[in-house]
Amino acid sequence: MMMHDVIHSGANGARGTVLVVLHQERSSPGRVGQMLLQAGFSLDVRRPVLGDDLPDTLDAHAGAIVFGGPMSANDDDPAVRREIDWLDVPLREDKPYLGICLGAQMLVKSLGGRVSAHPDGLTEIGWYPLRPTAAGEALMRWPSMVYHFHREGFDLPSGATLLATADEYENQAFRYGDNAWAVQFHGELTRAMMQRWVVHGAHRFELPNAQKGRDHLHGRLVHDGPLRQWLADFLDLIFLRQLSQEAGIVRRGSVQGR
């Protein structure tokens, strides 16, 4: 088995360790990782598709984040199926869980929902409008444009609360129970990560509804500020809220969005 990486914050992980699940050798948690480290968390980075084990319990972790990847949650691949099955751990233990793109779709599959392509073959690859629902607005402020890179979407699982919607893929973000969260879009990309995606994913820009590479990078200049601030607020909501509830205290400090 491969050895997973543990990345410590300058505060030596005083707020606990977040399990980070990635799906390629060179994948990075991007600014999600940066923000959590700045907030005092450590990161336990694992790549199960490359041989890393996932823990039988999250007793030693403050929560888990499953990121995107090139595979589909529908793939008949043992590694994909094991990862979907593993999601029973954070759900059963009621630990904070965040699924991003593929991680969101895996959560949907774990909850018995459906992941599928758009009926008209449309993609979301680039920047697209986002609208919060009433439930989403009650939680926080949302960006009006978000970054996507996907060809499949998901149905809203039974018992989940829709937090944000859009025109082509109506289920953009949801909450299940108190501590499971999912988003279809990407707030974690640094500038360098987006540049790599634009270069290596250029063949997908010809797909229906996909934007050209120049629009990805120009859109970042226009739309990334609100998306970055939303991400900081969202991580604060998921991870620091839980710590405060466990300690029975009012939250002090936050994940930094700047």
Look up residue 184 and give its DSSP letter: S
pLDDT single digits (tens) 247-257: 454 444 456 65
What pLDDT is stored for residue 241 in this prediction? 75
Task: Note the pLDDT tens digit of each residue in 214-254.
Answer: 999 999 999 999 999 999 999 999 998 765 555 454 444 45
Predicted model pTM: 0.91
Span 5-116+131-141+152-188+231-247 CATH architecture: 3-Layer(aba) Sandwich (3.40)
**Considering the chain, what is the average pLDDT of its residues?**
92
Does the pLDDT of residue 4 top 80, yes or no?
no
% of the chain surpassing 90 pLDDT: 86
3-state helix, strand, coil in the chain (%, to 5): 35, 20, 45
Query: Rounded distance, CA 133 to CA 244, Å?
Result: 26
Q: Quote the CA–CA distance of 166 and 137 in Å, as a whole number.
A: 14
Could you tell me which of 128, 139, 215, 201 has the C-alpha nearest to residue 169?
128
Q: Where are the domains of the chain?
A: 5-116+131-141+152-188+231-247
pLDDT tens-digit profile of 41-57? 999 999 999 999 999 99
Q: Give the pLDDT score at 6.
A: 74
CA angle 205, 74, 172 (to 5 degrees): 60
Q: What is the pLDDT of residues 170-190, one digit of tens each?
A: 999 999 999 999 999 999 999
Would you put residue 197 in left (φ > 0), alpha (ψ -120 to 50) or beta? alpha
